[in-house]
Amino acid sequence: MFAYCTDPASLDGLAWLSCYLTTGKHMNFYWSFGTVLLLLAITAPTALLFGYAGASAARSTLAPLRWFGQIYMAIVRSVPDIVFFLFFVIALDQGIEYLRHVTLCPDWDQPVRQGNDFVVCTAAKMPLGNAPQWMHEIYGAGLAVLTFALVFGAFAANVLFGAMRAVPRAQLETAEAYGMTRRQVTRRVLVPQMWVYALPGLSNLWMVLIKATPLLFLLGVEDIVYWARELGGTKSPRFTDYPHGDWRVYYFGFLLLFYLAFTKVSEVVLSRLMARLTLGQATAGGEAQRKAA
Amino acid sequence: MSCAQTIADYAFRSLGYGERLLPRSDFTLCQQFTLIGSGMIWNVYFGVLALLAGFALATVLALGKASTRAVLRKPAEWFVFVFRGSPLFIQFFFAYFLFQSLASGYPVLSGLTSAWAGALVVLFFNTSAYSAEIFYGALQSIPKGDTEAADAYGLSGWSRFRRVIWPTMLRLAWPAYTNEAIFLFHATTLVFVSGFPAIQQRGDALYYASYFADKTFNPFVPYPILAGYFIVLTLIVITLFNAINRRLNRHLPSDARRRVKYRPQLVR
């Protein structure tokens, strides 16, 4: 990185550290924070979307759709945590490959499950065997995001379902009295008004989602946990210019601080957002704001 | 090999008794049920001990957090913030490497690098922090009338705490505390996927479930078995805690009782 880094063995103190912390692998480590934030930025809206769809389905007047929404919420919420993460990624992967197998290779006569092996034809492999490395990474990350969104979507659905029911009935009736259709009531009154009731639950969920990101490591994404283990381990002088002992404790201490700072910042932002949403609402919080003003 | 033989071989495999080698091919349902069940011993061990020890520390922390004296309040607040604000997964990794470097300096502490002690300490601190927050909230919502009545009867200090504040706090906190207990048991599955190694393949239920899933490349058998075990465990926890809840609320008219609602939270 810096000009004086050409001979690390001759350096010591801060100069050594500044070179050490700017090696190519460390850059990967810093980028992986970006990966985690990016995955969060994709997962959170997707989960919210799943949640909204689930909550709308659970409120539907169509019975099968309603049952589907309710069953989705019930099943995902009652099965323990990481079991779902480990299970879903393989299950989704095999499901996609199986579907492609059935459509792309109709004249394949052998069974897909042969003892301990899962065999599909080459054309059905996802991604294709000759695809570049980045395709594999994107596909893996995509599966991870989908899994997270599916699981957190169920929780978000539950929160939104409760929030939709918490919107004062009188407001909806007023809208109906103005001649709005059910769809218009939903779009113009219910959805804008529900956020103040949903935010406490959603912010809880956001905190849980932040704290779930290290589990990406279990799903095989090269995230911050992977790099912290990789970089912190003992490095012998034979293989690297920057030999050091077992520094994993410092790397994980740094991750701990990162997460603490991240949750703290989220807390502050969310409480501001809550104050903004409470403004003028017929809730205890809104009343307190009115009195204070 | 009969199923009874498999159970005899593998029922206590997670503790190191019985057959040394795990099955390598031709996996039967019986083997999967037995080994995953054997792993559940560790989940129960971690959950029960952390919960019992955590209950005591959580009470102290909650009182500290509610204290008016900054000397007591600040450490309690920081403890709760650190353990609730960071992922348990990272805490396991950090603790494992911390214990390792401590053990190289002080050989007395070398026990902490193995899961049975080290992971237990982490889970203990973690559940203490989460429970302390629950207990703190309950302390804040003790009806004013209760403490005023205690004052009127001349109760003060320890006897006021012992006879009025503590029972009321528990009564108010119990539904939320039940959920915390359930998630603690769920969280015990993280132990062997984080830093702590499973020595000689003595792992918990998830360890064996993922072993089978890796070997057979078929997640549709071991994970549902694991989920089934956990549902049973959760039902047992709910039954026990409901019994305690009834005892805590036995003096109240039945419609004023707080019902326990199972509200799953996902990851800690």
**Neighbour-count burial of A62, counting CB atoms closer than 10 A to its CB (0-12 exposed, 13-18 middle, 19+ buried):** exposed
| Helices and strands, counts by H and E, chain B | 10, 0
CB pair distance less than 8 Å for A246 and B101:
yes
Query: Can you give the pLDDT at residue A155?
Result: 83
Q: Are A22 and A2 in contact (CB under 8 A)?
A: yes
Q: Which of B100, B189, B219 sits opposite A82 (nearest CB)?
A: B189
Phi, psi of B78 (to 5 degrees): -65, -40
Question: What CATH number has the domain bearing residue A109?
Answer: 1.10.3720.10
Query: Can you give the pLDDT at residue B153?
Result: 93
Q: What is the interface size between A and B, counted as CB pairs within 8 Å?
A: 122
Q: Which of A82, A90, A263 sits opposite B190 (nearest CB)?
A: A82
Q: Does B122 touch chain A (CB under 8 A)?
A: no
> Which tokens is A218 given?
């279990």
Q: Are A151 and A78 in contact (CB under 8 A)?
A: no
Helix (H, G, I), strand (E, B) or coil at B262: coil
Query: Can you give the pLDDT at residue A78?
Result: 59
User: Which of B25, B86, B220, B268 is most worth mutating to test chain A (most A CB atoms within 10 A of its CB)?
Assistant: B86
Q: Cβ contacts (< 8 Å) between B218 and chain A: which residues?
A: 113, 116, 118
CB pair distance less than 8 Å for A83 and B189:
yes
Q: Does A77 touch chain B (CB under 8 A)?
A: yes
Q: Which of A80, A155, A249 sits opposite B186 (nearest CB)?
A: A80
A80 band by pLDDT with thresholds 50, 70 and 90: low
Q: What is the DSSP pairing of strand A117-118 with strand A113-114?
A: antiparallel
Query: Can you give the pLDDT at residue B267?
Result: 55
Q: Are B159 and B150 in contact (CB under 8 A)?
A: no
CB pair distance less than 8 Å for B87 and A211:
yes
Q: Are B49 and B34 in contact (CB under 8 A)?
A: no
CA A20/CA A48 separation, integer angstroms: 41
Q: Which residue type is seen at B204?
A: D
Q: Which residue type is seen at B228?
A: G
C-alpha atoms less than 13 angstroms from C-alpha of B91 in its C-beta half-sphere: 28
Q: What is the dihedral of CA A242, A247, A253, A257, to 10 degrees?
A: 0
Q: Does B227 touch chain A (CB under 8 A)?
A: yes
Rounded to two decimals, what is the model's pTM? Answer: 0.83
For the stretch B24-62, what's the b/e string if a residue is b when 16 or more beta carbons lie within 10 angstroms of its beta carbon? eeebeebbbbbbbbbbbbbbebbbeebbebbbebbbebb
Q: Are A153 and A51 in contact (CB under 8 A)?
A: yes
Phi, psi of B213 (to 5 degrees): -65, -35
Residue A45 makes CB contacts below 8 A (sequence gap 6+) with none
Between B16 and B132, the more confident residue is: B132
Residue with tokens 């960071």: B86
Q: How many angstroms away from the CA of B36 is the closest CA of chain A? A: 13
CA B19/CA A134 separation, integer angstroms: 43
Query: Can you give the pLDDT at residue B257?
Result: 62
A92 band by pLDDT with thresholds 50, 70 and 90: confident
Q: Are B113 and B94 in contact (CB under 8 A)?
A: no
Q: What is the dihedral of CA B15, B16, B17, B18, to 10 degrees?
A: 120
Does residue A81 register a pLDDT over 70?
no
Provide the sign of the torsion angle of the four alpha carbons B30, B35, B36, B38, taken in this order: positive
Q: Does A259 touch chain B (CB under 8 A)?
A: yes
> Averaged over B61-74, what is the pLDDT?
93
B263 band by pLDDT with thresholds 50, 70 and 90: low
Q: Does B158 touch chain A (CB under 8 A)?
A: no
Between A118 and B262, the more confident residue is: A118
Closest by Cα among B81, B4, B71, B32 to B220: B32
DSSP A28-41: HHHHHHHHHHHHHH
Nearest CA in chain B to A86: B210
Q: Does B43 touch chain A (CB under 8 A)?
A: no
Query: Can you give the pLDDT at residue A77?
Result: 63
Domain range spanning residue A43?
3-292
Q: How many angstroms away from the CA of A1 is the closest CA of chain B? A: 29
Q: Does A83 touch chain B (CB under 8 A)?
A: yes
Nearest CA in chain A to B95: A249
Q: Does A95 touch chain B (CB under 8 A)?
A: no
Q: How many angstroms away from the CA of B160 is the closest CA of chain A? A: 32
DSSP B143-191: -HHHHHHHHHTT--HHHHIIIIIHHHHHHHHHHHHHHHHHHHHHHGGGG
> Averaged over A77-90, what is the pLDDT?
71
ipTM of the complex: 0.82
Q: How many angstroms away from the CA of B96 is the closest CA of chain A? A: 8
Please tell me the least confidently modeled range out of B49-58, B138-147, B249-258: B249-258
Q: Which of A86, A211, A256 sits opposite B94 (nearest CB)?
A: A256
Please tell me the least confidently modeled range out of A1-10, A162-171, B36-45: A1-10
Q: Does A211 touch chain B (CB under 8 A)?
A: yes
Question: Could you report the per-residue pLDDT of A262-279, keeping only the tens digit for each?
Answer: 999 999 999 899 888 888
- Domain count of the fold of chain A: 1
Q: What is the mean pLDDT of chain B?
A: 87
Phi, psi of A179 (to 5 degrees): 90, 20
Q: Does A189 touch chain B (CB under 8 A)?
A: no
Residue with tokens 């689930």: A54
Does residue A159 register a pLDDT over 80?
yes
Q: Does B140 touch chain A (CB under 8 A)?
A: no
Q: Does A69 touch chain B (CB under 8 A)?
A: no
Query: Can you give the pLDDT at residue A188?
Result: 92
How far lies A245's CA from each of A26, A241, A249, B94, in Å? 16, 13, 11, 16
Q: Are B92 and B119 in contact (CB under 8 A)?
A: yes
Query: Can you give the pLDDT at residue B74?
Result: 95
Question: Could you report the per-residue pLDDT of B220-247, keeping only the tens digit for each?
Answer: 888 888 888 888 888 898 889 989 988 9
Nearest CA in chain A to B209: A83
CA A20/CA B45 separation, integer angstroms: 43
| Helices and strands, counts by H and E, chain A | 11, 2
Q: Does A218 touch chain B (CB under 8 A)?
A: yes
Q: Are B58 and B173 in contact (CB under 8 A)?
A: no
CA B215/CA B152 separation, integer angstroms: 68
Q: How many angstroms away from the CA of A164 is the closest CA of chain B? A: 18
- In terms of residues, how long is chain A? 293
Residue with tokens 């593998």: B10
pLDDT above 70 covers a percentage of chain A that reads 95
